[in-house]
Structure 1
Amino acid sequence: MREASTGAERELPSSGSSGSSGARTRGAADGSGQDALPAAQQELLRRAIRLERWTLAAVALGVLLVGALAGQSQSMKAAWMEDSLSLLPPLAFLIAARRIRRRPTPEHPYGHHRSIGMAHMVASVALLGMGAFLVIDSATTLLSRERAPVGITVIAGHAMWTGWLMILVMALTTIGPVILGRKKAKLAEPLHDKVLYADADMNKADWQSALATIVGVLGIGIGWWWADAVCALLISASIIHDGVKNLRGAVRGLADARARTYDDSASHPLTREVVSVAEREAWVREAAARVRDEGHVFHVELFVVPAEGTPAELARLCEDLRERIRDIDWKLHDIVVAPVTEIPAAQVGGTA
């Protein structure tokens, strides 16, 4: 048991230590996913919801403007596709934030925390798929040596190269992603919200791709026909990179891999802290924990071995019951018997 506690199980990450700030509602296990958050995190969640609504408005406006001026420019079309794709993470976040307000029921005894993980998966798959499409589309254009025309438009009786309008629109579309992305990135860690982090990452890709698009349009203006398609490929590569990174994290979370930090960069230290707290108890000889990411919160299974001299009646009874349950059917494989003083309300009637 001691080896298990120092291996992968003990390294399972859980939500950040920032989640300890504030006080959760008593009986939060029976409440909604929002009730499970401390007061400080609930306020951060409300701020994140407001940011995502502003993001939807800003991105929708950018999609309309870029789409109206895209013409035959490959990099402009790529930027339009990425801007359209940028609508998915905030939409997924807002839907998930609404779903986690639902309370646990006998049909959903664990609540709806994993709506966050499902939203992360949806955004990641769409991001990766569209990135792959843009790579194929841009590479085909480059290999076929197709030249994208950027014509002349007339404004107030004056002829103007359309490229200048494209550049102006792309420059304007960088403002929202820069501001909103930085704000969302600051909220992702204290909320332990991977969808919010993925959206902030998308916003970063948005303004970077907008700059690449400006370079591509300028390339067309000076006769570098290939600059447009090359910049589109660079945009596509950025999308694929973000898609792969986020998809890997989403799959790990939904597959019950050990919990990790909000950016999936490392195992979360809270699992080790849980074990350390248990091992400091005088009656505990050994301890190990399994922690899985449920969205904003973690599910913890803590295994303890009583020290010698500790009354073992309860532990023995729990182990005997665990074995009898295991003998019922082979499908009852992973069983934890946890003594409690009260049955959670969501479990009542759940065996019907």
Structure 2
Amino acid sequence: MESIKHFSLPQHLQQKLHQAKKLEWITFFYLLSVIVIMYLTLGSSQAMKSAWLEDLLSLVPSVAFLISTKINDKSANQEFPYGYHRVFSISFLAGAVALLGMGLFLVYDSSMSLIKAEHPTIGSKVIFGQQVWMGWVMMIALLYSSIPAMILGFKKLPLSEELHNKVLYTDASAQKADYMTAFAAILGIGLVGIGLWWADSVAALFISFSVLKDGITRVKTAALDLMDRYPKNVKNDSEDELIGEIARNVRSWPWVQDAKVRFRESGQVYFGQIAVVPKGDIKLKDIEAGYETVKKIHWKIYDFTIDPVSELP
């Protein structure tokens, strides 16, 4: 069996990875501009503050993905004999914990504003010689924070599935749904404009619970992946049918009586073990040929052992 080498995606996926990196760099600089614009238009709106903090936190997945891809490119060595694949899992967990923490803070902060009956004031400013209600400016800023993000999210989603990258997928999913945050904040600001002071805090609470829900879901997924659970599909968290395909393939080998297969996720790729009960005497070349056969099934199958046993574990 071959030794673990420098990890390299198939050629067509290297192009997809390059596209993903390009989109994440665009996202990074776009979000920086959003953060500045949202900060300058915050006012005393709780909904705007929640939306701004969410945008600030949205930088984490983009930065994590760009750093992780750089680290993941390193070759396996004596200190890290299995390579650096788990860096994606660690980045995913770090971002999820940050999101969960921010969600808890926003729920508390928004609730306190509602309980204390804090009345936000949205004044007017003279812009280009015209008196302009700042609520309109806030709404324009919110649209800027959501529409380009949605477009970027839709572009990144198919790439994340092809690359089997959960950091990229969660980033894309969150950006795709950014319109909900913007709509809630715009609605809250609009209702404040007609005298419903509580609408701002209610909108902020909606945003906060959305952030909290995403945080809980992602922390759970990241933790379970690090606990070596059965590999899951990126899109719908269902069991990856690839593992069953490998088991059927191995059981079809002429020298194999029965087999059991287990794999675990390590970032984008899978490591595992195949236990086989041979029909009789086996040759080294049979195991080597079997190894190469399984490796060719899918690029995600990165490294594994084939263990002949007298009885399945």
TM-score of the aligned structures, taking structure 2 as reference length: 0.88
Whole-Å Cα distance in 2 between the matches of residues 125 and 220 of structure 1?
33
- Partner residue, 2:99: 127
1:1-352 aligned at under 5 Å gives the runs 29-32=4-7, 35=8, 37-263=9-235, 265-307=237-279, 310-311=280-281
Flag the 1:158–1:273 CA change in 2: closer, same or farther, 3 A: same
Whole-Å Cα distance in 2 between the matches of residues 312 and 277 of structure 1?
18
Q: Which runs of 5 or more residues in structure 1 are unaligned?
A: 1-26, 315-335, 340-352
Whole-Å Cα distance in 1 between the matches of residues 235 and 93 of structure 2?
14
- Partner residue, 2:300: none
Q: Please tell me whether the aligned partners of residues 117 and 253 of structure 1 are also in contact (alpha carbons under 8 angstroms).
A: yes
Q: Please tell me whether the aligned partners of residues 55 and 176 of structure 1 are also in contact (alpha carbons under 8 angstroms).
A: no
Residue 55 of structure 2: SS of its match in structure 1? helix
Residue 223 of structure 1: SS of its match in structure 2? coil
Code of the aligned partner of 1:266: S
What's the CA shift string for 1:70-124, capped at 9, x where partnerless? 0110000000000000000000000001001100001000000111111111111
Q: Which runs of 5 or more residues in structure 2 are unaligned?
A: 285-304, 309-313
Q: RCO (CA 8 Å, sep 6+): is it higher in 1 or 2?
A: 1
Q: Please state which structure has a larger fraction of its residues in strand.
A: 2
RMSD: 1.8
Deviation at 1:338, TM superposition (A): 5.1
Q: Please tell me whether the aligned partners of residues 93 and 222 of structure 2 are also in contact (alpha carbons under 8 angstroms).
A: yes
Deviation at 1:28, TM superposition (A): 8.6
Q: Please tell me whether the aligned partners of residues 205 and 239 of structure 1 are also in contact (alpha carbons under 8 angstroms).
A: no
Flag the 1:313–1:173 CA change in 2: closer, same or farther, 3 A: closer
Code of the aligned partner of 2:100: L
Flag the 1:129–1:271 CA change in 2: closer, same or farther, 3 A: same
Q: Please tell me whether the aligned partners of residues 274 and 307 of structure 2 are also in contact (alpha carbons under 8 angstroms).
A: no
What's the CA shift string for 1:44-93, capped at 9, x where partnerless? 11110000000011111111001111011000000000000000000000
Whole-Å Cα distance in 1 between the matches of residues 22 and 222 of structure 2?
24
Residue 30 of structure 1: SS of its match in structure 2? coil
Superposition misfits of 4+ residues, deviation over 6 angstroms: none
Q: Please tell me whether the aligned partners of residues 150 and 179 of structure 2 are also in contact (alpha carbons under 8 angstroms).
A: yes
Q: How many corresponding residue pairs?
A: 288
Task: Calculate percent identity across the aligned residue pairs.
Answer: 38
Q: Please tell me whether the aligned partners of residues 201 and 242 of structure 1 are also in contact (alpha carbons under 8 angstroms).
A: no
